[in-house]
Structures are given as structure tokens and as C-alpha cells.
A and B are shown apart, each in its own frame.
Chain A
Amino acid sequence: MAVLAFQRLSQLVTDYVLGNSGTIVPPASWTMGLATTNVGSGGGTDYARDSVWSVTVATTNINEIGTTTAAGYARQTIAKSINQGGIDWGTSTFDVTFATGGQSSAADQVTFGAFSGAPSPNGANSWVITDGSTLNAGFPYMTGDTAATRTFANGDTEKVTATLKAG
């Protein structure tokens, strides 16, 4: 799976963790959205590290599904806690393997839907950890691809488990 951490995530480390900033702070809770954008690998139509949510489909912009017709789509909440029950983050682990290791944490699985029909836009190619519930808005923090395009129809649900791994 291709995963990308955006600049806002590392800015939280530099400003909030290292510098105790009172303005660059984490949100009250995390939310997960689904986007039509491919994660890719830095190509012209792929995500960039400074990608933003936008209704305008253009290079480096992230376009969320369901913005014209929700049809049951909404962002899902992940609490800012570790193993407290409900939907939050798991205990982090550390793998010392030089080439492939790193510190990682997986969130509990979230469920989207049930969809009442085809959302517009439809076709999720990536999930995005972001903030807020307003579609195509908020800071993107990290993204991962959905392995295959997920196209939704009446009665469908989609389950996603996010993992962040850092060297």
C-alpha cells in the first residue's frame, strides 16, 4: 500500500511537539475521508506533500467522494486516544529492520455507509486522515491507497483500517 504523510503532520511534530505551539495544534478528533485521488508516487496527477482538499479537480488537489451527492457518505471519526475503546489508535510498535522497519500505529477499523446509491463523485482511490466533517475541507494529515477503486452502490458499506508508519 502506498502511504503519504502530508506537511501538516510533520508540522505538528516540529511546532506542537518540539516547539509547544499554541496555534499549530491537533484537532479535537481525527476524521477519515475517502477521495478519488490516486496516491501515486509524486507524478503530475498524484498527491503532493502539500496537497489540499479542493472542489477544483487539479494537480495536487484532493477531491472527496460524495460532495455533490452524499448518498450516505460522511467522514468517520477516530478519537485522539490510544486503546480507550471505541474507535481510536492502537499501541504503537517499533520494528528495527533497517530497510523496512519503523515505528507504526494502526487505528481501529472504520465503516463508511450504508450508501443509498452512487455518491457523486464516486470511486474511492484513497483514504485520508483529516479533520472536521465538512467535505473537501480541513487539513489532510496522511493518506493511503485503497488498493483498487471502490465504487459504491445502494446497500454498500466500506471498511478501512489506517496505519501510520514512520522511519
Chain B
Amino acid sequence: MYYELIFEDGSHSVACYDSDEEAVSASEAHHARAMEGGRSLESEPNSPPAIRVAKMLKYEDHPQDLTQSQALPVGEVKKSFDAALKELSQGDLVSIPELTAVVRDMTNPMVVSGAHESNYKAEELEELKGAWA
């Protein structure tokens, strides 16, 4: 299973664990280290400070896999394409490079989100709670 860790400073990571217990335990260990003013990488004294965990989301697959095939339902593409065509058109003309950029972005698996929200379009299975909550 995959887990998205969202840290207090707004940084994110995706981690792979065998179980929820392993996920929570590892994240609590990092969170505790942050609370004690420890480093992110214990073997490197000059590594950045450990950061408190803010949220943990669980996924069946790596959330970036959602669009990896770069194939999308025709109806979804048509809806997005038509909206882009309408927005980018100036009179009878539309910029093909700008339109192409919008089409290419349809397979972006990520979203622009708030600091403590998911970075991904994929729907999480659940939010896990730990010592940080």
C-alpha cells in the first residue's frame, strides 16, 4: 500500500509500507524526532531538521499511477478540450501551442492544493491518525 505523508511545512512524500501499523509507526518516529529538534536523516548531522507530520493519506496504488497510461475517457477529454477551446479562442483563432499545453496537462496526476491537502488527483482510501493528530 502507498501512503502520502503531508508535513507541517507543506512538504509531501509518498511512501510504501506493508501495513497501516508500519506506516503509522515510521511516521510517528519521524514526528517524535521533529518534536525533539532532531535531524531528518539521523546518520547525517548536517541534514535538514525533521519536520512534524500533519496528515497521512492511504492509497491502493501509487497516486501518480492514475494517469500513467496517458489514455483518458473520450467524454472526459472532449469536455476539457471544449472548455479549453472556448477559453483560449480569440475570435476565430486559437493558439495551438496553448491548446496543446492544456491537452498535455490532462494527464497530470497532481493538483495544485493547499499546504496540508493532497498533491494528487487520485482519491485516497482513508486518512490515518497517529501521534501527530
Asked if residues A66 and B26 are in contact (CB atoms below 8 Å), the reply is no
- How far apart are the CA atoms of A77 and B42 in the complex, in Å? 24
- What's the Cα separation between A156 and B111 when bound, in Å? 26
B70 touches A87 (CB 8 A): no
Among A3-11, A54-62, A89-97, A112-120, the stretch in contact with B: A112-120
Residues of chain B contacted by A156 (CB below 8 angstroms): 30, 40-43
> Which range contains the number of B residues in contact with the other chain?
35 or more
Is there contact, CB below 8 Å, between A77 and B14?
A: yes
The chain B residue sitting closest to A66, CB to CB, is B16
Of the A-B pairs whose beta carbons lie under 8 Å apart in the complex, a sample of 30, sorted by A's number, is A28-B107, A28-B108, A70-B16, A71-B17, A72-B16, A73-B16, A74-B14, A77-B119, A79-B108, A79-B109, A81-B108, A85-B112, A85-B113, A86-B111, A87-B12, A87-B110, A111-B5, A111-B11, A114-B15, A114-B30, A115-B15, A116-B23, A131-B68, A150-B43, A152-B41, A153-B42, A155-B30, A156-B30, A156-B43, A159-B11
Contacts A28-B107, A77-B109 aside, 12 further interface pairs with beta carbons under 8 A come to: A29-B64, A72-B15, A72-B17, A79-B109, A86-B110, A114-B53, A131-B68, A153-B43, A155-B30, A155-B42, A156-B41, A159-B11
